[in-house]
């Protein structure tokens, strides 16, 4: 039996916090999984350390499905981002081990290549429309075929997703959440102008995407979707709060702009209505926050029945391990749509050794056995945990708090 001999949690902060689980077996082969939950990292670290690791030791590392069900059903308390991120880390590490033992890159175990490489989209940001277009043109030059456009809103001091200075953009920017002011009216007026300029400057062959970060009501989202129709977006992301799946019935009734949501979902039950009623076009739930490859397979296959494609979250607060697992997954499933790509810093990649590559708008997970990412534990130990939170938004005219 390929026995799990040890499992340990590695918390490291090379520019931002990452939580990694390393599982070692009696035959020397080991695997690693990502457990990073932005702003709640230590909760997942404790869940793993205190509640999962003791139950893992001695188990057969090959029994991935059984171990998944053991932690999902066996805990009695199901779902939630902390639990599902912890289970995901175990799942990624076990798939890594199995693929290493097989001597194959992970995508081969998931059914083999359904495509030659993976279409990715990048972020273009700026304080103004002009700055955003300039950034987008730079990314087009780098080969990207799909670009997410986000710009500052005239009249608002700051906007989430738009870097304040010249430094690389990191959304979790303070040890107590920064409070920003938000105006839906100002945003709704400026957003279509960004896409009118974007389509004109970037041409018809580039896919354009946009993220609303859950800030609108359903009828406002319906209006924005209609206003953006002339610019033919690839998708409009997180236009409303995703707590109530029925919100999307209202949006869908009014606009043909394709809709994406799901980066904060953690189980198939968060998206069942959205998929079954064909209220969305892309599901963004990803490997680390949704129970790992094992649960995402169920989600992708379910979504395929209803013409919903994947478009996994790929921000830098998901570690390179998640990025690698997502790329293997994207390679192998039929209903892949697009993959988000926010490159990690050089410092982060000096700790997480990656095997995946980018070329001309597409990525490939590489051919190394396993998921292809390793961690340098000695280097990781040099960067202790540093508390950091996402900002919050208050409506400019007082009252309600919205997301970010
Ligand atoms: O705000 O990953 O589409 N990408 C995003 C990200 C998220 C962060 C939150 O942790 O919305 O920038
Ligand atoms: Co998003």
> Is 160 annotated as catalytic?
yes
| pLDDT attached to residue 376 | 98
**How far apart (Å, rounded) are the C-alpha atoms in residues 363 and 367?**
13
- Among residues 274, 366, 381, the alpha carbon closest in space to that of 328 is found at 366
Pocket test for ligand 1, best of 162, 313, 314, 318 (most atoms within 8 A of CB): 313
Pocket test for ligand 1, best of 44, 211, 342 (most atoms within 8 A of CB): 211
- List the catalytic residue out of 160, 231, 356, 383: 160
Pocket test for ligand 1, best of 210, 213, 285, 389 (most atoms within 8 A of CB): 213
Question: With a threshold of 0.85, does the pTM exceed it?
Answer: yes
Give the up-direction half-sphere exposure of residue 134: CA atoms within 13 A in the CB hemisphere.
Answer: 6
Closest atom of ligand 1 relative to the 148 alpha carbon: 3
Mean pLDDT across the chain: 96
- What the block records as the tokens of 166 is 């010249």
Question: 243, 208 in Cβ contact below 8 A?
Answer: no
For residue 315 and ligand 1, the question of a CB distance below 6 A is answered with yes
Question: How much distance in Å is there from the Cα of 160 to the middle of ligand 2?
Answer: 11
Question: 279, 306 in Cβ contact below 8 A?
Answer: no
Residues in contact with 68: Cβ distance below 8 Å, sequence separation at least 6, in sequence order = 87, 90, 91, 291, 292, 294, 295
- What the block records as the tokens of 52 is 């999962």
Give 6-55 pLDDT, tens digit per residue.
999 999 999 999 999 999 999 999 999 999 999 999 999 999 999 999 99
SS3 content of the chain, % helix, strand, coil (to 5): 35, 20, 40
Helix (H, G, I), strand (E, B) or coil at 69: helix
| pLDDT attached to residue 167 | 64
Q: Is residue 328 over pLDDT 80?
A: yes
Residue 283: strand pairing partners = 261, 310
Q: Is residue 75 over pLDDT 80?
A: yes
- List the catalytic residue out of 210, 213, 289, 364: 213
Lowest-pLDDT choice from 151-165, 259-273, 340-354: 151-165
| pLDDT attached to residue 403 | 63
Helix ranges (H only) for 103-239 are 106-109, 129-141, 184-202, 218-228
Please report which ligand is nearest the Cα atom of 315: 1
> Is 213 annotated as catalytic?
yes
**How far apart (Å, rounded) are the C-alpha atoms in residues 36 and 11?**
9
For residue 38 and ligand 1, the question of a CB distance below 6 A is answered with yes
Question: How much distance in Å is there from the Cα of 212 to the middle of ligand 2?
Answer: 7
Question: How much distance in Å is there from the Cα of 208 to the middle of ligand 1?
Answer: 17
For residue 171 and ligand 1, the question of a CB distance below 6 A is answered with yes
Residue 363: strand pairing partners = 118, 358
Residue 392: strand pairing partners = 179
């Amino acid at each position: 039996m390929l026995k799990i001999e040890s499992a340990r949690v590695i918390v490291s902060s090379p520019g931002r916090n990452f939580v990694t689980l390393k599982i070692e077996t009696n035959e020397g082969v080991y695997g690693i999984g990502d457990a990073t939950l932005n702003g709640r990292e230590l909760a997942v670290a404790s869940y793993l350390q205190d509640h999962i690791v003791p139950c893992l030791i001695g188990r057969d590392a090959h029994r991935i499905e059984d171990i998944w069900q053991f932690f999902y059903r066996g805990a009695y308390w199901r779902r939630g981002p902390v639990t599902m991120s912890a289970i995901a880390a175990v799942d990624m590490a076990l798939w890594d081990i199995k693929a290493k033992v097989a001597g194959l890159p992970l995508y081969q175990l998931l059914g083999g290549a359904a495509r030659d490489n993976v279409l990715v989209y990048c972020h273009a940001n700026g304080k103004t429309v002009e700055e955003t277009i300039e950034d987008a043109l730079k990314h087009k030059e780098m080969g990207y075929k799909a670009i997410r456009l986000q710009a500052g809103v005239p009249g608002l001091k700051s906007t989430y997703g738009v870097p304040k200075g010249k430094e690389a953009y990191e959304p979790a920017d303070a040890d107590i959440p920064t409070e920003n002011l938000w105006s839906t009216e100002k945003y709704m007026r400026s957003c279509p102008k960004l896409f009118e300029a974007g389509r004109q400057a970037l041409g018809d062959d580039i896919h354009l995407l946009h993220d609303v970060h859950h800030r609108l009501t359903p009828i406002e989202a319906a209006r924005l979707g209609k206003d953006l129709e002339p610019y033919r977006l690839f998708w409009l992301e997180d236009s409303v709060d995703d707590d109530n799946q029925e919100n999307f019935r209202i949006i869908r009734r009014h606009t043909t702009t394709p809709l994406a949501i799901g980066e904060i979902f953690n189980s198939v039950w968060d998206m069942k209505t959205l998929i079954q009623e064909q209220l969305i076009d892309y599901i963004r739930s990803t490997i680390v926050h949704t129970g790992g490859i094992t649960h995402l397979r169920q989600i992708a296959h379910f979504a395929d029945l209803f013409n919903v494609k994947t478009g996994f979250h790929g921000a830098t607060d998901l570690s390179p391990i998640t990025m690698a697992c997502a790329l293997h997954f994207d390679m192998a499933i039929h209903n892949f749509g697009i993959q988000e790509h926010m490159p990690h810093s050089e410092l982060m990649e000096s700790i997480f050794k990656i095997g995946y590559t980018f070329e001309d708008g597409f990525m490939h997970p590489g051919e190394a056995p396993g998921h292809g990412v390793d961690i340098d534990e000695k280097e990781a130990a040099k960067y202790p945990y540093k508390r950091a939170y996402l900002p919050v938004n208050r409506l400019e005219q007082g009252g309600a708090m919205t997301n970010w």
